[in-house]
Structures are given as structure tokens and as C-alpha cells.
Amino acid sequence: MEKQIVLVTEAASSGPVYAQWLRRFFADRIRLELFSVEANDYDSLPRNGDLYILCATSSDAFGHLTGLVPPEAKVVSPSVTFFKKEIQALLQLPKGTRAMLVNLSVQMAFESIAELNRLGVTQVEFIPVYPGSGYPLDVDLAITPGERRYVPPTVLQVLDLGPRVFTADTLVEIALALGFTWFPGSREFREYAGSLADSGQSLAALWNENLKSETYLDILMGALETGVLGMDTDNRVFALNSVAEGILGLRRAAAIGQPLALSCPELAQLLSPEDQRSTRLIQLENTYISLSSVPVEQQGRRIGCFLLLQRFTEEEERQQKLRLQLYHRGYQSKYVFSDIIAQDETMLRTKQIAAKMARTDSAILLTGESGTGKELFAHSIHHASLRRDMPFVAINCAALSDSLLESELFGYDEGAFTGARKGGKLGLFEYAHRGTLFLDEIEGMSQPLQIKLLRVLQEKELMRVGGSCMIPIDVRIIAASNENLLERVRQGSFRRDLYYRLNTLPLEIPPLRERGEDVLLIARHLMRRSGARYAFAPSAEEALLRCSWEGNVRELANLVEYLAMLEKPVIEAADLPLCLRPEPGSAAVPALTGPERFRQAAHGREEALSFLLSALEDGPAGRGFLCRRAEERGLPLTEQEVRDGLSLLHRLGLISVSRGRGGSRLTQAGRALLEELQQVFPIL
């Protein structure tokens, strides 16, 4: 006997799409009548349906329709989703893409955006567009679920996802309402469920509807990524999916029908009668497993339960992704190594070293002047690491007060202090779990916080402010400082043990003034990115190469923006700010002499660097030898200071550094400079 279905939709265009799927699945077993809120009057709603499928999304329409449905008729309010292939296409759009989301009404537009975000399409900024809403003229991409008729005519590119379709849960609910118990076992349904972006999980609902229908259960459990084990009231196993087989090391054929105590005694011993809708962590053969118990009842009587199992590492990853979606945080790296513009040999070598560091999980300490690109390196290192798919979280330690920085890093529990958010707050360490935490300007952290940070790094666990339990974390630390942290250690303002914990892999970013022609290369890159259209005259280029660039790339970016405002096709030296202009009357900007460039790069370390040059005059030497010679001369230098000094001299082209035990030796330029410096420093 045919079942009469009344299909109610908001838009008239959606009805035929849903009807097509229903006819495909149920064929001549159903008779369909279509009704749309958009095209029909409520009084014309058919009153003879066995089942009413109400797809109307507005609360007013839904409330009105339910009042017109015959009281004896069954009603299904369907959930809808998209096909997997459409979502995969959207996930290929680059981060930061702006697109209109075009739909029939404001509610349907926002509902579609929420569904796409839930399915993981979070890198696209959606602008809802619907009839009468207006639209942004500067957006040339529109995404629509089958409503191309409302796409503005100015849009150049349209991605039509097609109308949203019923979830697998909805189709099962419709089939059960119609009494079609064969449906979940059909090939058409299995193929359809596998093609959806979100197939749903109707575990308890299916079991309550038909306890004896093993077909339903097998299909549903096979689609889940969670391990499922079903037991009756005698604790006999009646259901076991493939995921649970792998977690527990069981064979389904041998376990079904047997008491759990025989098939898996280790798990049976860990269960208790109180395990009802509870979730806890258990350990089976050195593997931590998240175990949930879900009781199944029929007419108020318990008839069994399902155990849901998931390896803790997989559960952690799932929870982390859900946590980030819940708090709408875009904790992702924004830059890669190719974004670091460089041709200078020293900077290229720095990038190569950073790329090698990225392959490890060790802590990295980035040092260098402000504006040299330390955060750019931090982003790039994370993106090149094995943690690239997990969060990248950054915080400036010098920008916040102690109390605020502590709560931001470690989070707090409800009631930890006056004004604490209800339910507490996760800290950045928890957000960065299994990813990377970038601590910029680490020298700005107070000593009490340094102690707490050190403990977290050592123990790999933390306690929230006002909390009472330890939370395990797995975070890779990248720290950065504009200052000489070792000097801060000597002064007592930075803990020595924390310094060596952070300085596992040190990386010094060279300042812009030591990168030669990179100044012009970066300037032209900044010009292209900002749309500036001008060129530098030779006199201006020479002045730029001479500048000390105390603000490094940030200062250069400001200059590029300033020069764009002049609206001149060619920038001469006279157009530069006063600090960069050559002296009046000079024909050209003179190049720095060797001693001048040396003093400018030394930054107060002239005496120590000059000594290193003199110590290499008689031949190559290693760091240990240089430390001993310095102490003999009354100029004690640490090995780190010697390493930093040799690195700077190498970048200036004054020494060459051999691999292995070859040591460092003077170049011809280094010998020439040493002769001039010996007139200044008697210690040489």
C-alpha cells in the first residue's frame, strides 16, 4: 500500500530536488505531494498525508504549518547537509577568501553559513546575501546552495553547491516513520550515506526502534569512526564494529554472543554498574582509551548498553579541533619560508638552518633586533614542521600585565578571581596542544611567571589559575627576544635554567643593514604588495644601502608607504626623509668605509670583536682557544659571546668558518681592517 507523503519546503525550487531523492529510495511505495511556503497559500496544504516532512526553516512558517497538520499524522523535521565533493572543493579555497553566500532568505543564508562552518569550511569569510539585502561590490565570488537566480549580476565566479540534501539520519527517520524496515540495508542508502559530508549518528534511535534489526546496526556502526561494543543486560556482546575490533584486539565472530568477561576480561574488570552515560580514561595494554557508556532503554526499561571507545590520541585530536571551532579562533600559521624575501647569503643560510630546526620538536630561541622578522620565522617553522595541521598560537609576553599574561597562558577555573568567566577559560597552552606556542619578547616575562613556565616545559603539564588538577599538554615552544638574554641572565632578571631550556636551538636573525642588496629587493617587494608605482634613482638606492635601518624591515615598510604618498614616478635621494638624505652639496652618498661599517655593526662590541680578529691573525682557531686567549689578555668572553662574535664577523666577510674542526680564519678584508683597528685598540 502506498504511503502518502506531503513534502513542505520554504522555496519552490527545493521541493523537486528532495522529491527526486525520496522517489529514488522509495519508488512506487510512496505518493508525493509538494507544498512550498514561497508559492502556496497555507489553506491549500494537503490534509491527507501519512507523513509530513516540514523543511520550512522560518519559525513562523514552521509553527503555522504544525498547527495545520492532522493530529494523527507523523511529522519529520529534516536535517540537511551537503555532498562531500562540494565541501572538498570549498576546502581548496585559500585562507582569507571572501565570498557571498547567496540564499533565498536571511535565515537560510545564515543557516547555510553555519552548516559550512560546522563541516570545516572556516577559512572563507562568508557575506550573507539574499533578496533585498544588498551586496558588496568588491567581492567577485558567490557560493550558493542552488539559488543562482539571486546571485548579483556583477559576480564573476559562481560556485553552485546544489540544494542541500537530507542527512542519513533524516532518511532513516523517514523510513521508520513509514514502516520501511528494509531501507537501512539497501545499497542505495549505503552509497548515499557515504557521499554525504556529514552522515550523522543515530545509534540509540535506531536501536530503540527495532532491537532485532541487526542490519540497521551493522550499517550505522560501520560508518562510525568510534569503536562501538553493544552488550545486553547479561553483559553478552551482541554488536562490535571494526574500529572496536582494532582497539580491543578482538574478532567479531568469536566475541558475538559471548560474555564480555570471556572475550575481553581486561575491559570487563574496568566496568562497573554505575557506568551510565559516563566518560573516563582507561588503560588497556599500555594504550590509553576514552571509554563512554551509553545505556539503551525501551519503555523505561534498560535493555542493554553501548560502549564507545576511542584511542586517547585520536580523541585528543578530535577534541582539539572541536575546541577551536567552538571558540572561533583562527590559530594557524600565516607564513611560509618562501614569504621571507632574501638573496643575501647570510639570510639564505639562516632560512636553511630554520628549515632543519622545523623538523624537530626541540625549543627554538629566535634572537635579533626588532623588525628583523622573528615572528615570520616562527610562523614558517611551524608550517614546515610535523605539527603544521595543529594550532599555531602567538602571544607577546611584554604586552600584558603579569596577572593577565598568566591567565592567558594557563587559563583559569570558574571562580578563580573576581570577574572570572563562568565555566572558566582555556589557556593558550591548551589551545596550542599538539601544536606550537610562540612566546614573543620573552624577556618581558616576570620571574614568578618564568618559574611557572619552566615547570610546564619540564613536566609537560599545567594547572589553571584557581584549578586543582594537572592538565597534560604537548606543545612545541618557539621563543623570541630583542635583547641579549644571556646578559639578562648575568644581571639576574632572567632565570638561567629557563634560558637554557628555551635556547635548545638558537637562531639569530641578521639585521637589515647587514643584508646588503636585500634592502632594495625587499623594498620592491613591499612596493608591489602595496600597489605603489615608482622607481628608485641610483642616488636613492645608494642612500638606502647606506642607511643603518634601526627599525629594520618595519622601518623600510614605513618608508615605502611614505614615498608612495609623494606620487612621483622616480624617487631621488632628495625625496627621502631627512635622516636618509645625503649631505647638501655632495654629489653622491659615500659608501661606508671598512672601520665605519664595522663600528656600526658592532653595537658597542668593538673591543671584543677586534680582539677576535687579532687572535686569528696567526692562523685558524676554534672557540675554546679564543676563550682562553681572551682570558689571558684580561678580556674574559663566554663561549656564547665568542660564537656570536664569530657569526657577526663571518656575516661581514671578515673571517671564513671551516666545517668540523677547521676553525675560523681571517679573510683578506679582515686582515686589512685589522691593520686599521690596531691603531685604535692597544690590546690588539
Backbone angles phi, psi at 577, to 5 degrees: -55, 160
pLDDT score, position 680: 61
40: helix, strand or coil: coil
pLDDT tier at 601, thresholds 50, 70, 90: low
- In 441-566, DSSP assigns E strands to 461-462, 471-472, 476-481, 505-508, 535-536
pLDDT tier at 454, thresholds 50, 70, 90: very high
The more confidently predicted of residues 325 and 15 is: 15
pLDDT score, position 159: 92
pLDDT tier at 581, thresholds 50, 70, 90: low
Q: Does this model's pTM top 0.75?
A: no
pLDDT tier at 513, thresholds 50, 70, 90: confident
Backbone angles phi, psi at 83, to 5 degrees: -75, 150
pLDDT score, position 205: 41
- State mean pLDDT over 242-252: 86
Q: What percent of the chain has pLDDT over 90?
A: 21
Tell me the per-residue pLDDT of 338-362, one tens digit each, with 9 for 90 and over: 999 998 888 999 999 999 999 999 9
3-state SS track over 429-467: HHHCCCCEEEEECHHHCCHHHHHHHHHHHHHCEECCECC
- State mean pLDDT over 373-377: 94
pLDDT score, position 169: 81
Report the first-to-last Cα separation within the chain, whole angstroms.
107
Buried b (16+ CB within 10 A) or exposed e, 376-387: bbbbbbbbbbeb
Least confident of 320-334, 433-447, 451-465: 320-334
10: helix, strand or coil: coil
Contact between 594 and 676 (Cβ < 8 Å):
yes
Backbone angles phi, psi at 290, to 5 degrees: -85, 120
Buried b (16+ CB within 10 A) or exposed e, 129-162: bbeeeebeeebebbbbbbbeebbeeebeebeebe
Q: How far apart are CA 365 and CA 457, in angstroms?
A: 14
pLDDT score, position 389: 84
pLDDT score, position 21: 86
pLDDT tier at 114, thresholds 50, 70, 90: confident
Tell me the per-residue pLDDT of 193-245, one tens digit each, with 9 for 90 and over: 888 886 554 433 443 444 344 555 566 666 667 888 888 877 888 888 888 88
43: pLDDT strictly greater than 90: no
Backbone angles phi, psi at 445, to 5 degrees: -85, 135
Q: How far apart are CA 575 and CA 569, in angstroms?
A: 12
- State mean pLDDT over 630-636: 83
